[in-house]
Every structure is written in C-alpha cells, then in structure tokens.
Chain A
C-alpha cells in the first residue's frame, strides 16, 4: 500500500499533479475499545486510502487521520453513525502544503539576501566569503568579486570591485584585516562595503565618487591568519607562512612591503610579531596587492585599516622626515578625524606614522606613497586599549558608522583633486 502511494506520488510529481487537494485531517477520539476496533477496521479499507498520522492505540488518545477528498463523505458518515467524535484539524491539506512551500522559498531568499546578515557580530571567513557573494547578487550592476591571488595556505584572496562602468577608471583601494587579530577591521569592512553598495544612488558623495572612480575593497586581506584566530589563537597577527630554519611561523604583512624595508622599524627574528620576512614582498598576500596595484596603474588612493589606537596616519613610518605632501595629508586627516568625532565623540589623533605611533618600516602605505599613490592613509580603529583587540561586538556598528564620514572625506578629496 505504501509502495503504491510512493509510486503514485512520484508519478504525480513527474506530472506536477496536485495530490492532496480537498483532503482533510480529522482528529478522532475513540471512547472505548469497540470504537477503537472500528477505527482499525476503517484503516484497513484499501479503497478509502485513510492515512493515519497518529494510529489508534488506546481509548481517549486522539487518532489523527488524513482522509482523501473522495473518501471524506463515506468516512464522516461512518464516524457519525457509530457515534465516534471527531473534529477537522486541517481543512485542506494541499492549501497547507502550498503555504509551507511559499514560506520555505521566501526564507531561503531572505537567507541569501544581505538584508538579514548580522553586521553587529563577528563572523568566520566562510560567512564573510558567502556574504560577499550575496552582495554581488544583490547589486550585480555595481559590485563584482575578483580574485587577486592566493594566501600561503591557498585560500583565495578576494577583492570586491565597485564600478559603474568605464575602462580602468582612477581607483581607490581599501583593505581591512591585514593583521588578523584586529577583528573590528574585517567587521567594519563588511559593513562599509554594504554601505557603499546601499548608498550609491542615494548619498551624493559616494554617488559622485562611483560615477567617476572605481573602489577596490579587500576585506579579508590575511585569510590564513584570520582562520587561525578562529581556530587556534585569537591573538594571531601575522601570516601563516613557514619560516625556513625556524619553528616560528608567520611574517608581519605590514612590515613586508618594499619601502624602507629592513630598518629598525621591523624585526629580523621570525619569532617576532614584527618580523619583516626574508625579503620584501615574500608574502603572497602582499605580493598579490602589489601586482594588482601596479598592474592597474591608475590607483589614486590606498586606505589600509587596522586597530587599535584611534589614529589616522599617513606616511612615513620608515623615517621621521615628512613626506612632500605633508601639509595636504595633514589637513585632510584633521578634517576626517573631526567628522569621525561628530558621530559619538570618539577622539582620534593624527599625523605621520613615525611621529604618531612608532617607527615602522615596510608598511603598506609607505610603499603605496613611494609608488605614486599620493593619498595613502592608515586608520587605527577603536579602542585605545580598554578592550584592545577584543572589542565587544556591540561596538561594531558604532565604529563602522563613525568611520564612514572619515572615509568619505578622504575619497571625496581624492575625487576632487585628480592627479
């Protein structure tokens, strides 16, 4: 009997026939053993095709039965004439199935939309990579995903490209998460990428920017390190490359760039958190960006986002001498920091890396600047040490929200000062 039903179901499915139209589910209560026996007999009438969802067991316990539409009248007459009480649990089984199917499809669509991604919590690399795909799906004419290389452990290095067209337009490069333990940066990156997509066509600044320029955004710049912070050591900073002749792993990707490489602002010890690596651009994560920016040839700004300290920094880190554009960069930083503070009163300091934080050589922004990218900035996001790297997730959205106007200030300035 069951096999017949399954076969019928398959055939019906193949013919897209609706199987349960008008069928009802009745809840029947047998008050004694005699009535119980009658119900069992009813179930044995093959031509009625009564389908028990809850079998007759003992008096007083409800028996649930699905009754196909053609058998309804006969079954109800049988129950009534034997004084067996029943109620209608489901008026029309097919209606219920249709409703359920609709709900399931809707929920699947919701899951895949960026509208329900929880921006207020920290995510794994898989979750962020999946979310990137939904962002591209939701804004197909604005956002695309490109792969610029692979990490040491062969994870893809993904960059989101925001473009309204043109050919090799002047571009702005943004990166977060180059130091994997700085979780607020990847989280801010996700929120900000979403914000850029959302606001194009609404916010006049971002619209003007994207109408003439492209934005390239690498959110998980150090995926191996990031995966390691989830699986093993929350405080991991560097890449996960193996160092020849040492048991210590990893290179500081922000000391590996070819700008003042090898000075006192980095370490030659593989066990150090600021180990510069065996040579400049030894790290595939760094080399991929170098190749991309050089290959692109038209990048006008590089903004690299770190945490923590609440600072907005510009070159140089490898020397204390001011960069040629010191005045302009300083003024722009001052404005950006002021607009950032307007949101929640968060105070940032600003200035050149060497004078504001410490001597650091081989950094992203110094390399960019020395390779013709005038508007090169590093953000150090919240906080100033109270939670440090372990910034509560409740601060993700406030941090991203206050940083947004500062980013816009820089990007608008880049737009308005072509070179």
Chain B
C-alpha cells in the first residue's frame, strides 16, 4: 500500500515457453496499480534473469510464408469449438496471444483477470513496407465477471522489430446473444 499513489506488488515469476515446457526463465517484476485513475494501465517494471531463446528461424519461416501468399490471409474461429488449431494458423494464434497481452495489460485492474478466449476473425492487411499487419477481432474472457468481451486490435509484426498493437477498441456484444 502506498498512500496517495496506489498498490505495488513485488513478484517473482517463472516464465515458461509455451512451445517447450522444459524451457523456463526466472523473472522479477514490480507492478503498480494506480490509485483512483481507472484509465491508466498499471505500471510494470521487470528483469529477466536469463536471455530469452532465439526464435529467428521460426520467425523468418512464418514471415516469408505470409509475405509470399497470393491473397491476404483471412481466417475465423481460432481455435475452433473443439480446440483445434491448424498448423498453418498456429503462429497466427501465437501472434494474437502476444498482442492480446498488451491489450490485457492496458485494461487490467486489481479486480480483473483476462485471458484470450478465441480469435473470432483475422484479416491480413496489405502493406507496402516490410511489416506484416493483421486486423484481429478477439474474444477476451474476464474471469471475475465471467464476461466474454469482443475486442478489435490492429497488430504489426516484423521478425526484427517485434510486435506492435497500433490500434485497439472494445466492441459491443451482439444483441442476439
């Protein structure tokens, strides 16, 4: 508790590689939830105790595959109802996961717990520069309220320049549901 400022948490965590459960990296972090101001994201500072694995090869394979597509990538419902993700869509899902992490961070409070539930729709946007751009509509699951929240996010990615969420906005829930 920091008077007039907010609540600060010291965390010791272990990062686990989703694609390789035995690959872990220790991490320490400080998270500050600001008092009163619901519109500002918590401040985060972190230190990785080891270096993250190099993923250049896989990144370049995915990058080149998308770059060489004749038509812009379009897909829906990843995973599908049965939890299936086709191998070609797996990197698209992982990219959404990373990007949704940013959206979740920007919208978290001490009383929320968000997870990416599903990619409802993804559409590649043609670009003249070297970046890949994807327009995602995702569903976020908020654990405390149990709500499923549609969210739009525009994601830029390049193997050497990383992930950027250039635009995101909460979407209204369908009236039919």
Contacts and interface: CB of A to CB of B under 8 A. Distances in A.
B146 A273 contact: yes
Contacts of A391: 83
Interface in A324-348: none
B35 interface: no
Interface stretch (B38-46, B57-65, B137-145): B137-145
Interface stretch (A109-117, A168-176, A230-238, A281-289): A230-238
B107 to A, nearest CB: 16
B148 A122 contact: no
B117 A390 contact: yes
B141 A122 contact: no
Contacts of B177: 232-233, 236
A233 B177 CA distance: 8
A-side interface mostly: loop
Contacts of A236: 177
B146 A237 contact: yes
Interface in A195-253: 229-230, 232-237, 247, 252
Interface in A258-279: 267, 272-274
Contact of A389 (B80, B117, B145, B175): B117
A233 B83 CA distance: 15
A324 to B, nearest CB: 27
A165 interface: no
Interface in A43-83: none
A325 B118 CA distance: 40
Q: Is the interface of B mostly helix, strand, loop or mixed?
A: loop
B115 interface: yes
A392 B148 contact: no
Contacts of B175: 247
B146 A385 contact: no
Contacts of B147: 272-273
Contact of A390 (B18, B81, B176): B81
B82 interface: yes
Given A273-B146, A273-B147, A389 B82 contact: no
A392 B144 contact: no
Nearest to A252: B146
B82 A121 contact: yes
Nearest to B114: A385
Given A236-B177, A247-B175, A273-B145, A392 B84 contact: yes
A387 B143 contact: no
A392 B79 contact: yes
Contacts of B116: 385, 388
A252 B139 CA distance: 20
Contact of B18 (A233, A386, A394, A395): A386
A267 B118 CA distance: 25
Given A235-B148, A273-B146, A274-B145, A388 B115 contact: yes
A355 interface: no
A292 interface: no
B139 A393 contact: no
Contact of A393 (B84, B117, B146): B84
A265 B41 CA distance: 25
Contacts of B79: 387, 390, 392
Most chain B Cβ neighbours within 10 Å, of A273, A386, A389: A389
A12 B143 CA distance: 69
A388 B140 CA distance: 11
A7 interface: no
Contacts of B81: 122, 183, 229-230, 234, 390
A235 B117 contact: yes
Contacts of B117: 235, 388-390
A236 B18 CA distance: 27
A358 B144 contact: yes
Nearest to B173: A271
The residue among A388, A390, A395 with the most chain B CB atoms within 10 A of its own CB is: A390
Given A237-B146, A273-B147, A389 B84 contact: no
Interface of B: 18, 79-85, 115-118, 139, 141, 143-148, 175-177
Interface of A: 121-122, 183, 229-230, 232-237, 247, 252, 267, 272-274, 309, 358, 385-395
